[in-house]
Structure 1
């Protein structure tokens, strides 16, 4: 699914984005960053940094 980290030094993986889209039917990046990972609540700046990679990964999955 993807074992690369979203950002260096964070415990969140690209595979979590894949899982959220495929298994939990997530359709919005904020849903991944806030509800699935909680990163948006823990560190808003890190969530902003991770956003482009989340969007890119979701776009490849959703078309």
Structure 2
């Protein structure tokens, strides 16, 4: 988010993940399920899961 200059609302808009869910993830209050992780990776165009070969599900 910082690298791309994105706020919570923009991340939510790009990914389809609820703004509060993104805030909870960033604060360490929750862990994403596979679908949420995939939406975040697809929407942001970055790999978030350690060891992954690239961003998202490959469906974007």
So what's the TM-score if we normalise by structure 2? 0.31
Name whichever structure is richer in helix by fraction: 1
Higher relative contact order (CA 8 A, sep 6+): 1
